[in-house]
Amino acid sequence: METDPAPATGPAAPGGPIVEMTHVHLAFGSKVILTDLNLSVAPKERLVIMGQSGGGKSTTLRLILGILRPNSGSVKFNGEEVTRMNRPRLNRMRQRIGMVYQYSALISSLSVRDNLALPLEELTEKSKEEIDAIVNEKLGMVGMEDTRDYMPSELSGGMRKRIGLARALVLNPELILFDEPSAGLDPVVSSVIDELIISLTDKTNSTSIIVTHEMDSAFRIATRMAMLYKGKIIEEDRPDRFRHSDDPVVSQFVEGRTDGPIDTQTTPLS
Amino acid sequence: MTLLDRIPPVKHALQHLSSVVWLLVETIQETTEHMVVRGRPPFRLSIFFQQTDRAGVGSLPLVSLVSFFLGLTMALLTGYQLRTFGTENLVPGLVAIGFTRELGPLLTGIMLASRIGAAYTAELGTMTVAEEVEAIEAMGIGPLRFLVSPRVLAVVLLMPCLVVVANLAALAGGMLVSRWQLNISPSYFFQLVHESVQNRDIIAGMVKSLLFGLIISLVSCYKGLTVTGGAAGVGDATTSSVVTAITVVIGFDTLANIVLVALYD
């Protein structure tokens, strides 16, 4: 077994980025997904990554979690190289990151309570009473106290999304990753989820990276925005500046125009 | 172009075989790491018992009923032939040896592959498609330890038990035919069984059952965890899981028989 020199649970380097991706290249066979991707995320910011469907946004989140490994380049979480971590260190690092999936990814065979309790039961030494208290607290944070004994199949898409968010919060992560948090929701529920993301990340002092291509949500949530196009970040800026970007790709994407440099006929990167 | 590139089916089969072996190695490693690093049980006992209930208790009616009928048919057909030579008292031995050494593990393996293998693949496949497996991994909980270990261990441990039940059910079927068709009393039937079956037959059957349990559980979990393509992908993987598991079980059974015959000779 590989030695485990430094814990993957130490505090963030003061002032340093919580996530740093440098010259990341990832391809599946001949299909290039990311090429020379550079991204840095400061503590407590809410970075929204925008881009076309299939453009590598969700893949970027999976690289941060260490679920995928890049062909080349560096991915650092709190200064530690994710690409070189062995499994125990990766698992410890993942406990400091919460992930909210596009379709919630709640374990369908477990009740809402058991879904939230799962990481606590598997990864901590907490008693049943402590776990129940945390589950109740997190369900309360997302306004879902009454769903404790429901099965995921009995919940609506918006409710499942909230439970997914509550599950991501149970281990008090420093970083929360959101994969298309508003996808498939009506505009009202979508706004509720956006406000939850803002209030919860503020309340918990956590950093968040949100992947979306829904402009209203993106501008509502973001403290900083980045545009992923053809496998790399082509622009990063504050939302107010981003809205009036001079970059033709960014402005076409933000305005949702069909005419412009973005190729609407082919896959984002071939 | 290598020699294997010229024969794509063989190349794919070898790739899958190496992936299944790799799944076993990774599962053992992940489970051991959890026990050593965290000093905790390898997995939730409740999940393990749930799986033993599904694989073992749930399979009992099917395994015992099919084995009973096959034992009965075997005794009927062999008795019909042997009676013409006046050697019908060989029937109990034939049924007993045939089942303890060969048919018990093989038929139980085929039934378990169809019943539990398909269920495991469909279940894990659906979880994979719904990103539930990835969510477990993203939380820092090893999905192989959490999902695969209890399933593999349940099937491996339950297979020999089911084979014993299958053998007893087949003997019961054979005993019935012997009593009513061949005029062999139950006590004489079991005396003949006792005289004909040797320890090596029982050991061979048990070793085979453990091996088949490992093959069925690993193939079904592997097929489930590698599903792509949504609902249709789950369906395809489930069919492929059953076909692959049954084919590999029969293949290993043949191989085991060749080895055992060589050893006993």
Closest Cβ–Cβ partner in B126, B138, B142 for A65? B138
Contacts of B139 in chain A (CB under 8 A): 94-95, 99, 118-119, 122-123, 171
CB–CB contacts below 8 A, A to B: 62
Range A179-195 average pLDDT: 85
Overall domain count for chain A: 1
User: Which phi-psi region, left, alpha or beta, contains residue A104 (left: φ > 0; alpha: ψ -120 to 50)?
Assistant: left
Closest Cβ–Cβ partner in B126, B134, B142 for A91? B142
Contacts of B29 in chain A (CB under 8 A): 87
Alpha-carbon distance B83 to B86, whole Å? 5
- What integer pLDDT is reported at residue A227 of this predicted model? 93
Decide if B94 contacts B192 (C-beta within 8 A).
no
Kindly state whether residue A187 falls inside one of the protein's structural domains: no
Kindly state whether residue A226 falls inside one of the protein's structural domains: yes
Q: Do B37 and A107 touch (CB under 8 A)?
A: no
pLDDT confidence of A15, banded at 50, 70, 90? low
Please tell me which residue, A3 or B10, carries the higher pLDDT value: B10
- What integer pLDDT is reported at residue A193 of this predicted model? 87
Task: Kindly identify which residue of chain A lies nearest to residue B34, measuring between CA atoms.
Answer: A88
Question: pLDDT for A93-142, tens place per residue?
Answer: 999 999 999 988 999 999 999 999 999 999 888 999 999 999 999 999 88
pLDDT confidence of A268, banded at 50, 70, 90? low
Q: Do A123 and B139 touch (CB under 8 A)?
A: yes
The answer to whether residue A144 scores a pLDDT higher than 80 is yes
| Mean pLDDT value across chain A | 88
- What integer pLDDT is reported at residue A14 of this predicted model? 56
In this structure, the strands spanning A31-41 and A19-28 are antiparallel
CATH number for position A71: 3.40.50.300
Closest Cβ–Cβ partner in B37, B126, B139 for A88? B37
Alpha-carbon distance A235 to A226, whole Å? 6
Alpha-carbon distance B222 to B226, whole Å? 6
Contacts of A101 in chain B (CB under 8 A): 131, 134-135
Contacts of A108 in chain B (CB under 8 A): 126-127, 130, 132
- What integer pLDDT is reported at residue A170 of this predicted model? 93
Kindly state whether residue A201 falls inside one of the protein's structural domains: no
Please tell me which residue, A183 or B129, carries the higher pLDDT value: B129
Q: How far is CA A99 from the centre of its chain?
A: 5
| CB burial string A199-211: b at 16+ within 10 A, e below | ebbeebebbbbbb
Please tell me the least confidently modeled range out of A187-191, A265-269, B113-117: A265-269
| Mean pLDDT value across chain B | 92
Range of the domain at A72: 18-96+176-181+207-257
Range B202-208 average pLDDT: 93
Range A167-189 average pLDDT: 89
Question: pLDDT for A40-96, tens place per residue?
Answer: 999 999 999 998 888 899 999 999 999 999 999 999 999 999 999 998 899 999 999
Question: pLDDT for A218-246, tens place per residue?
Answer: 999 999 999 999 899 999 999 988 888 88
Q: What DSSP state is assigned to residue A145? A: G
Question: Mutate which of A60, A115, A121, A122 to disrupt the B interface (most B C-beta within 10 Å)?
Answer: A122
- What integer pLDDT is reported at residue B84 of this predicted model? 87
Contacts of A119 in chain B (CB under 8 A): 139-141
pLDDT confidence of B216, banded at 50, 70, 90? very high
Question: pLDDT for B228-263, tens place per residue?
Answer: 988 899 999 999 999 999 999 999 999 998 988 888
Closest Cβ–Cβ partner in B131, B140, B141 for A101? B131
Phi, psi of B225 (to 5 degrees): -75, -15
Question: pLDDT for B123-155, tens place per residue?
Answer: 999 999 999 999 999 999 999 999 999 999 999
The answer to whether residue B12 scores a pLDDT higher than 90 is no
Question: Mutate which of A4, A91, A92, A176 to disrupt the B interface (most B C-beta within 10 Å)?
Answer: A91
| CB burial string A13-43: b at 16+ within 10 A, e below | eeeebbbbbeebbbeeeeebbbbebebbbeb
Please tell me the least confidently modeled range out of A13-17, A31-35, A90-94, B229-233: A13-17
Q: Do B137 and A94 touch (CB under 8 A)?
A: yes
Kindly state whether residue A77 falls inside one of the protein's structural domains: yes
- What integer pLDDT is reported at residue A158 of this predicted model? 87
Kindly state whether residue A165 falls inside one of the protein's structural domains: no
- What integer pLDDT is reported at residue B227 of this predicted model? 94
Kindly state whether residue A156 falls inside one of the protein's structural domains: no
The answer to whether residue A1 scores a pLDDT higher than 90 is no
- What integer pLDDT is reported at residue A270 of this predicted model? 44
- What integer pLDDT is reported at residue B3 of this predicted model? 73
Judged by DSSP in three states, A2 sits in: coil
DSSP per-residue codes, A18-54: SEEEEEEEEEETTEEEEEEEEEEE-TT-EEEEEE-TT
- What integer pLDDT is reported at residue A76 of this predicted model? 95
Q: Do A105 and B131 touch (CB under 8 A)?
A: yes
Which one-letter amino acid corresponds to residue A234? I
The answer to whether residue A2 scores a pLDDT higher than 60 is no
Alpha-carbon distance A253 to A256, whole Å? 5
Closest Cβ–Cβ partner in B33, B131, B138 for A87? B33
- What integer pLDDT is reported at residue A7 of this predicted model? 45
Q: Does A119 touch chain B (CB under 8 A)?
A: yes
Q: Does B28 touch chain A (CB under 8 A)?
A: no
Kindly state whether residue A92 falls inside one of the protein's structural domains: yes
